[in-house]
Structure 1
Amino acid sequence: MSVPPGAEPTLWELHRAVSQLREDLCGDLAQLAARLDQVVTQDVYRADQRAVDQRISQIEAGLAGLRGEHDQGLERAEQQRREDQAQAAATRRLVLSSFVAPLLLMAVQLWVVSRGSSP
C-alpha cells in the first residue's frame, strides 16, 4: 500500500513504527549487555597480568636453574672423561711395564747364562 506524497501517516502507522523502533532498540541493548558481560574491569585485567608475569618469572627462574644444573653436569662429565683417560693411560703403562720388565730380566738372564760362567 503506497502513501501518496504529502499525505500524513496515520496514528496506527506511527504507533507501529515506534513499536518497531522500540523492539530494535531493545534487541540492540540486549546484544550490548551480552557483550559487556564478557568485558572485565581494568583491576581484574591488571591482577591477571600480574599473575601471568609472576608465573613467567617463576618459569624463567626454574629454567635458569635447569641450565645451571645442565652446565654442571656437562662439566662433571668432561672431568670424569679426563679422569678416565688418565686412568686408562696409567693402566696401559702398568700393563706394559708388568710384561716388559720380566721379559727384559729373562733376556738378561739368558744372555748371562749363554755367556757361561767362567771362573
Structure 2
Amino acid sequence: MADEPSNGELGRLIQAMRTDMREDMDQLNRRLDKVVPLDVYTIEKNGLSERVTALETQRKEDSERLVATRRWMIATVITVVVAVLPYLASIVKGASA
C-alpha cells in the first residue's frame, strides 16, 4: 500500500493533467484559427482559375491583334512604295533628260 498514491496526490495529478489538456486544446485551437476553411479555399481557387483563363484569352486576342496590325503596316508600306515608285521614276527620268 505504500506504493499507492494518496488521495491528495491523485487530486494534484488529475489537476495537472487537466491543465496540460487545456493548454494542448488552446494550442490546437490557435492553430485551427489559422486554417482556411475548405469552402473559402475552393472559392479562391475557382476565382484564380477564372482570372488565369481570362488573362490567357486576352493574351491570345492581343497577339492576334498585333499580327493583324503588323500585316496592315506591311501592306500600307508596300502600297505607298508601289504608288510612289512610278512618280519617283518619272522625276528621275525628267531630271536626267
* Same fold flag (TM > 0.5): yes
Query: Are residue 98 (structure 1) and residue 94 (structure 2) matched?
Result: yes
The 5 A counterparts of 1:21-100 are 21-100=17-96
Q: Where in structure 1 are there 5+ consecutive unaligned residues? A: 1-5, 104-119
Q: Distance in 2 between matches of 1:36 and 1:94?
A: 86
Q: Secondary structure at the match of 1:85?
A: helix
Give the superposition deviation at 1:88. 4.7
Q: TM-score, normalised by structure 2?
A: 0.77
Q: Distance in 2 between matches of 1:65 and 1:80?
A: 22
Q: Distance in 2 between matches of 1:22 and 1:29?
A: 10
Q: Distance in 2 between matches of 1:18 and 1:88?
A: 103
Q: TM-score, normalised by structure 1?
A: 0.65
Matched AA of 1:50: N
Give the superposition deviation at 1:93. 0.6
Q: Distance in 2 between matches of 1:35 and 1:51?
A: 26
1:52-87 deviations in Å (ceiling 9; x for gaps):
111112111211221111111111222223234324
Q: Secondary structure at the match of 2:5?
A: coil
Identity of aligned residues (%): 21
Q: Distance in 2 between matches of 1:50 and 1:20?
A: 47
Match of 2:4 in 1: 8
Pairs aligned (count)? 96
